[in-house]
């Protein structure tokens, strides 16, 4: 380890944040660009399953809330893209890597939203799981990423609460609504557990990322925290989680839970989930069809600049 | 299972080799990103503008409008400044030591340096 690297690790150990112009190991920079850009892609692709229900929300109030929530997710994507750009990549390059399939996004968004209750389950479970990760990341070692996370976490708690509120209303409704609520919980529970990634024993990620304090908690620990939280909250709905092995463990002071279907997990990650193709196609289409807007706005701005320049010359 | 050697930096997102600014086919990109702007927001009348983040826009007006949508959706601001990022000049962090050092040994600039009698009030 050379002096630069020693100095760098010393700052990390002393909980001093790294800022864009500070010296950093190339691997640290690359790791962050990957993680932050893929996190940004997740926020943007994450708008699709929910956007699917904006026009069909059951009331004006619900529609307005869902619109605000989806707009927040667009904002999260932008905060994160901007944070990644401070490391020297460009927006165009990141988008290009998403579209070419080189960069990934969270697999959870490759599941379909079949009923209105899914919007409730997403807010409660999917945003709930994301919050676990994101709260940890408010303490990540790279300044711009940590600051983006603080902003995001402030907004996320509304997301989870509105989701729970949707399910609570359904759970108190007639049988048809109760069933919708139960069905959505059943379908979203396991995929949201998968959001925390493979077991720590099955992934090789953590050492360096932990040492650099990019990531500060293991997948298993975060997943356990999530299970403990949701297992209690589901009681308020008068519902159950679809796991016969879920039970309180007095000794560990945690909930025990059943084995995740890792076959399904790897399958969706590899691109064979129910909506992988649909999601990516939707993003590409939006990008391609918006190309003329991007070009026209730039051309217009350049023209105005040229005119002002000419005006100044003539006046002189 | 062979795929378990993949890296996972964040949740369920596999690393592959994506996302770094290392793509060899970089030249196929147009380089047509809109210019980058830094956004400063005054959260309340009477307070300073504070850096909030950055965004892309073709001109100042669009930058302000986008900043409103991106950074003030919850009444976080009463005033917005934007400046194109390329116009910001920054001090060099590597020179921080010598830059701030002269300020370090002048303890007499702080009120606590002066040891005055206790009966002296309101000073
Ligand atoms: Fe989000
Ligand atoms: Fe969210």
Return d(Cα A187, Cα A34) in angstroms, integer. 30
Residues 104-123 on B with a CB inside 8 Å of A are none
Give the SS3 label for residue B113.
helix
Return d(Cα A148, Cα A135) in angstroms, integer. 11
End-to-end CA distance of chain B, in Å?
A: 73
List Cβ neighbours of A83 (8 Å cut-off, separation of 6 or more): A36, A142, A144, A145, A147, A148
Kindly calculate the radius of gyration of chain B based on its CA atoms and give it in whole angstroms.
Answer: 24
Check whether B27 has a pLDDT greater than 80. Answer: no
Helix, strand, coil shares of chain A, percent, nearest 5, are 70, 5, 25
**Domain edges within chain B:** 15-89
| A215 CA: distance to closest CA in chain B (Å) | 8
Check whether A204 has a pLDDT greater than 90. Answer: no
In this prediction the ipTM stands at 0.87
Who among B4, B54, B74 is closest to A198 (CB)?
A: B4
Domain B15-89 has CATH 3.10.20.520: yes
Q: What is the pLDDT of residue B16?
A: 53
Return d(Cα A249, Cα B30) in angstroms, integer. 57
CB A181 within 8 A of CB A237: yes
Q: Is A71 on the interface with B (CB under 8 A)?
A: yes
Burial group, residue A50, by CB count within 10 angstroms (0-12, 13-18, 19+): buried
Q: Is B7 on the interface with A (CB under 8 A)?
A: yes
Cβ-defined contact of B23 to A35 (cutoff 8 Å): no
Q: Is B94 on the interface with A (CB under 8 A)?
A: yes
Q: Mind listing the pLDDT tens digit for each residue in A96-118?
A: 999 999 999 999 999 999 999 99
Interface test with B, best of A198, A210, A262 (most B CBs within 10 A): A198
Q: What is the pLDDT of residue A200?
A: 87
Q: Mind listing the pLDDT tens digit for each residue in A146-195?
A: 999 999 999 998 999 999 999 999 999 999 999 999 999 999 999 999 99
């Amino acid at each position: 380890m050379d002096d630069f690297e020693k100095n760098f690790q010393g700052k990390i150990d002393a909980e001093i944040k790294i800022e864009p112009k500070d010296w950093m190991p190339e691997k640290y920079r690359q790791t962050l660009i990957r993680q932050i850009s893929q996190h940004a892609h997740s926020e943007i692709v994450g708008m699709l399953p929910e956007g699917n229900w904006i026009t069909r929300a059951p009331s004006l109030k619900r529609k307005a809330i869902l619109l605000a929530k989806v707009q927040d997710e667009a904002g999260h994507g932008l905060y994160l893209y901007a944070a990644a750009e401070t490391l020297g990549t460009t927006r165009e390059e990141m988008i290009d890597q998403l579209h070419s399939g080189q960069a990934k996004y969270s697999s959870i968004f490759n599941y379909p939203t079949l009923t209105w209750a899914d919007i409730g389950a997403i807010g409660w479970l999917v945003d709930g799981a994301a919050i676990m990760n994101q709260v940890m990341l408010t303490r990540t070692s790279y300044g711009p990423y940590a600051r983006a996370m603080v902003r995001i976490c402030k907004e996320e708690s509304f997301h989870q609460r509105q989701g729970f509120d949707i399910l609570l209303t359904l759970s108190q409704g007639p049988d048809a609504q109760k069933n919708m609520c139960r069905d959505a919980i059943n379908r979203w529970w396991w995929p949201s557990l998968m959001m925390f990634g493979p077991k720590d024993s099955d992934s090789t990620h953590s050492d360096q990322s932990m040492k650099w304090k990019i990531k500060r908690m293991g997948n298993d620990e975060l997943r356990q925290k999530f299970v403990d939280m949701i297992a209690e909250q589901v009681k308020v709905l008068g519902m159950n989680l679809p796991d016969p092995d879920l039970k309180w463990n007095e000794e560990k002071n945690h909930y025990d839970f059943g084995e995740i279907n890792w076959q399904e997990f790897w399958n969706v990650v590899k691109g064979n989930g129910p909506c992988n193709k649909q999601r990516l196609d939707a993003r590409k289409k939006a990008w391609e069809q918006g190309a003329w807007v991007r070009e026209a706005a730039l051309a217009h701005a350049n023209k105005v600049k040229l005119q002002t320049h000419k005006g100044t010359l003539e006046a002189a | 299972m062979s795929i378990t050697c993949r890296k996972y930096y964040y949740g369920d997102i596999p690393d592959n080799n994506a996302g770094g600014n290392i793509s060899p086919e970089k030249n196929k990109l147009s380089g047509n990103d809109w210019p980058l702007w830094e956004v400063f927001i005054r959260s309340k009348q009477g307070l300073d503008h504070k850096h909030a983040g950055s965004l892309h826009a073709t001109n100042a007006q669009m930058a302000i409008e986008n900043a409103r949508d991106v950074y003030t959706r919850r009444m976080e601001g009463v005033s917005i400044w934007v400046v194109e990022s390329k116009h910001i000049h920054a001090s060099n962090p590597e020179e921080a030591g010598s830059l701030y050092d002269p300020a370090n040994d002048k303890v007499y600039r702080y009120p606590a340096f002066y040891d005055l009698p206790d009966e002296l009030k309101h000073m």
